[in-house]
């Protein structure tokens, strides 16, 4: 009995004292990167041809509005880079200029994107603008943007009507940004 | 604020490092009075027992399923980002968990009825901390990868399941040797909750799809809630620089732990049945009960649904209000459809009910005859039941969990050496490990009983790679029932 109990105790003690472990490096946690890429629609604009014709002037539309998505503190502090994608579709009977400007809190223009598109029938204009990468535009443009100004210029006439049902000019856009969570 | 949040998170994180509640080494270990806590219908060979306050029973169990510390932090030259991606993000499922429990007996004692010695009563107080956190698979993918390139993938919000609590349990148990072959028992419990958090009934999804007007549509359908009790007062103490954190939190724990917080009631039931002269079956149900959380409640909900396609300007309507704030309107619209709200509504939680079933066969007599006799309870004492040198048996254990019952199966061998020493070895299979070998020892020196148990001993070869470890010990004073 003594031998058995001694063996048992020795085993138990040995297991506790001699318990070993592979070498761990908990400082690795500092190297962990958690950088998801978030994607969502940004801005959708629909302008009917009727509205363009009724305006009677070339600069048929301009509007500045608050856009707080980019200046949300968490986003602004952690965004690394990203891409804004635009699609401009014109089914009206006139060529158009559509300009989108990013403005800072003081109303200063940070970035301008101009789309010139022919009258219908014409292909959808696609464009991707990169920010924050070595070849892209400055990411600070994004993080400093607090408003957007949209301008539409009619490069044609104010009387013609497209043969396509419900003629409009559509601006679609989405944003895809990498955000560092850690 | 930052420090206090970290402290709270650390405290909760501490709970998550604790694990499972199976005490297979202790179950039906009659030499140790704490086994009565696992089966109130156990055969009791004591006249009385008294635990040394705060030292009579301490158990600590920790582990994870699916991943170990070594998988992530081994100094193996691999990039931690690759390891996390392969072994956690892509390697874990929603059934994998980090969970656990610790238990400290504050007070524990028992005595045999004077007029009805077939009855054995036990009572006490113990403090318990329980936590479980399932791997939130879809939410982890969303956090690490985001939703880009995941068109039409639904990120399931029900993957978030977590709960934890600290409580004191006041209990009184009655054990009766009903006949020569049947012992039954019950234990009433009053739970005094110190803190609780609970988020296990979530539902909903987040999905990105092709938009109707715009390029993409983002849809969130959420029915999520986090219910907490007792956390706000701790946070208030941590935020208040005029209060010493240690004394402030101690005061809260003391108050809430002694009927000043949440209250609940529960019941343990158990039996032991002798099916032959040396074979027994036994079973028990523990913590059939609930808690009513009514003090210091703070709940958070995110319920509703919305689909957005960014800021939409449709002319000429968009020009009607020259002061329109389209962005804020969008934010307001989302918040109206999916409000993030707080409330202080009381709530009920059910205790994690546990089930044990076991069979034990004794052999190798040591001492007075242990033959099965047609005798009364008096012979079911230490003299008759603990006279066998050897016992073998099997156990099954199940616990009710947010994702359904967890089961463990155990085989054991026990060897007694007179009255001084009893040893038990066990082999257990559960979701954490298939190689769980445990050892237990009960030492008796005069009236003093000391026990020591350790689990998953093979894991000690590389502790960091172990998925499970547990440790139990305690000291009691026992007066054996001798006839």
pLDDT at residue B303 greater than cutoff 80: yes
Report the run of H or E that residue B73 belongs to, with start and end: helix B69-73
Predicted pLDDT of residue B111: 96
- Among the residue ranges A17-31, B47-61, B142-156, B279-293, the one predicted with the least confidence is A17-31
Predicted pLDDT of residue B398: 94
Predicted pLDDT of residue B6: 37
Residue of chain B nearest A174, judged by CA positions: B215
Q: How much is the average pLDDT of B449-455? A: 91
- pLDDT band (50, 70, 90) for residue B4: very low
Report the run of H or E that residue B480 belongs to, with start and end: strand B468-480
Q: Distance from A46 to chain B by nearest Cα, in Å?
A: 5
Q: What angle do CA B195, B198, B201 make, to 5 degrees?
A: 165
Q: Do A22 and B75 touch (CB under 8 A)?
A: yes
Q: Which residues of A75-95 are buried (b: 16+ CB within 10 A; e: fewer)?
A: bbeebebbbbbbbbbbbbbbb
- pLDDT band (50, 70, 90) for residue B458: confident
Residue from the list B75, B148, B314 with its beta carbon closest to the beta carbon of A39: B148
pLDDT digits (tens, 9 = 90+) for A128-182: 999 999 999 999 999 999 999 999 999 999 888 888 999 999 999 999 999 999 8
Give dist(CA B304, CA B449) in Å, integer: 58
pLDDT at residue B345 greater than cutoff 80: yes
Tell me the residues of chain A between 19 and 58 that have a Cβ less than 8 Å away from chain B.
19-26, 28-29, 31-34, 36-48, 51
Q: How much is the average pLDDT of B441-458? A: 90
Extract the tokens encoding A50.
């009727």
Tell me the residues of chain B between 214 and 233 that have a Cβ less than 8 Å away from chain A.
214-218
Structural domains counted in chain B: 1
Mean pLDDT of chain B: 87
pLDDT digits (tens, 9 = 90+) for B110-162: 999 988 999 999 999 999 998 888 999 999 999 999 999 999 999 999 999 99
Q: Is omega for the bond preceding A181 within 30 degrees of 0, making it cis?
A: no
Residue from the list A1, A24, A48 with its beta carbon closest to the beta carbon of B417: A1
* Burial category of A151 from C-beta neighbours within 10 Å (exposed 0-12, middle 13-18, buried 19 and up): middle
Predicted pLDDT of residue B369: 42
Tell me the ipTM for this assembly: 0.88
CATH of the domain at B386: 2.40.160
pLDDT digits (tens, 9 = 90+) for B223-239: 999 999 999 999 888 98
Predicted pLDDT of residue A176: 96
- pLDDT band (50, 70, 90) for residue A33: very high
Percent of chain B past pLDDT 90, that is, above it, reads 63
Predicted pLDDT of residue B448: 93
φ and ψ at residue B93, rounded to 5 degrees = -115, 175
pLDDT digits (tens, 9 = 90+) for A55-111: 888 898 999 999 988 988 999 999 999 999 999 999 999 999 999 999 999 999 999
Extract the tokens encoding B391.
């016992």
Domain that holds residue B441: 2-480
* Chain B residues whose beta carbon lies within 8 Å of the beta carbon of residue A102: none
Extract the tokens encoding B292.
């009513």
Domains of chain A with CATH codes: 34-179 (2.60.120)
More confident call, B400 vs A115: A115
Number of CB pairs, chain A paired with chain B, less than 8 A apart: 175
């Amino acid at each position: 009995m003594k031998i058995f109990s001694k063996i048992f105790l020795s085993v138990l003690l040995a297991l506790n004292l001699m318990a070993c472990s592979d070498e761990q490096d908990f400082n690795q946690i500092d190297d962990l990167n958690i950088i998801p890429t978030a994607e969502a629609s940004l801005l959708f604009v629909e302008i009917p041809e009727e509205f363009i014709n009724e305006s009677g002037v070339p600069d048929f539309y301009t509007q500045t509005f608050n856009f707080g998505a980019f200046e949300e503190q968490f986003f602004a502090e952690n965004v690394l880079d990203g891409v804004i994608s635009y699609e401009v579709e014109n089914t009206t009977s006139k060529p158009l200029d559509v300009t989108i400007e990013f403005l800072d809190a003081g109303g200063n223009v940070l970035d301008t994107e101009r789309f010139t598109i022919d009258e219908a029938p014409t292909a959808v204009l696609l464009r991707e603008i990169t920010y924050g990468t070595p070849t892209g535009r400055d990411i600070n443009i994004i993080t400093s943007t607090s408003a957007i100004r949209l301008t539409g210029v009619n490069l044609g006439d104010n009387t013609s009507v497209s043969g396509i049902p419900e003629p409009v000019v559509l601006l679609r856009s989405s944003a895809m940004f990498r955000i560092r969570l850690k | 604020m930052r420090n206090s949040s970290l402290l709270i998170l650390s405290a909760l994180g501490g709970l998550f490092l604790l694990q499972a509640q199976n005490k297979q080494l202790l179950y039906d270990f009659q030499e140790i009075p704490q086994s009565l806590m696992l089966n109130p219908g156990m055969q009791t060979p004591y006249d009385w027992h008294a635990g040394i306050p705060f030292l009579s029973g301490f158990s600590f169990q920790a582990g994870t399923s699916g991943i170990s510390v070594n998988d992530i932090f081994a100094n193996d030259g691999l990039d931690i980002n690759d390891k996390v991606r392969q072994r956690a993000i892509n390697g874990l499922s929603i059934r994998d968990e980090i969970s656990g429990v610790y238990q400290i007996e504050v007070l524990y004692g028992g005595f045999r009825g004077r007029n009805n010695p077939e009855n054995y009563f036990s009572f006490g107080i113990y403090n318990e901390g329980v936590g479980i956190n399932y791997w939130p698979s879809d939410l982890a993918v969303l956090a690490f990868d985001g939703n880009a390139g995941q068109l039409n993938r639904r990120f399931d919000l029900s993957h978030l399941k977590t709960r934890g609590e600290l409580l004191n349990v006041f209990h009184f148990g009655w054990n009766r040797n009903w006949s020569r072959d049947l012992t039954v028992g019950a234990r009433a419990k009053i739970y005094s909750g110190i803190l609780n958090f609970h988020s296990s009934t979530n539902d909903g999804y987040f999905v990105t799809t092709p938009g109707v007007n715009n390029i993409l549509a983002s849809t969130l359908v959420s029915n999520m809630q986090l219910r907490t009790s007792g956390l706000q007062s701790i946070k208030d103490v941590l935020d208040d620089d005029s209060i010493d954190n240690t004394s402030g939190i101690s005061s809260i724990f003391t108050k809430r732990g002694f009927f000043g917080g949440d209250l609940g009631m529960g019941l343990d039931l158990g039996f032991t049945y002798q099916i032959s002269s040396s074979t027994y079956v036994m079973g028990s149900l523990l913590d059939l009960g609930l808690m009513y959380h009514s003090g210091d409640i703070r709940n958070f909900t995110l319920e509703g649904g919305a689909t957005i396609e960014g800021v939409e300007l449709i002319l000429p309507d968009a020009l009607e209000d020259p002061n329109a704030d389209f962005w804020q309107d969008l934010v307001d619209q989302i918040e109206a459809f999916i409000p993030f709200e707080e409330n202080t509504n009381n709530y009920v939680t059910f205790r994690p009910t546990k089930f044990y079933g076991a069979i034990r066969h004794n052999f190798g007599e040591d001492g007075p005859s242990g033959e099965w006799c047609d005798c009364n309870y008096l012979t079911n004492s230490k003299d008759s039941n603990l006279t066998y040198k050897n016992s073998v048996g099997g156990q099954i254990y199940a616990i009710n969990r947010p994702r359904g019952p967890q089961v463990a199966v155990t085989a054991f061998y026990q060897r007694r050496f007179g009255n001084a020493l009893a040893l038990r070895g066990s082999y257990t299979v559960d979701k954490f490990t298939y190689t769980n070998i445990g050892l237990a020892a009960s030492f008796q020196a005069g009236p003093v009983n000391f026990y020591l148990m350790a689990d998953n001993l093979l894991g000690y070869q590389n502790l960091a790679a172990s998925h499970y470890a547990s440790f139990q010990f305690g000291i009691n004073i026992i007066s054996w029932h001798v006839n």
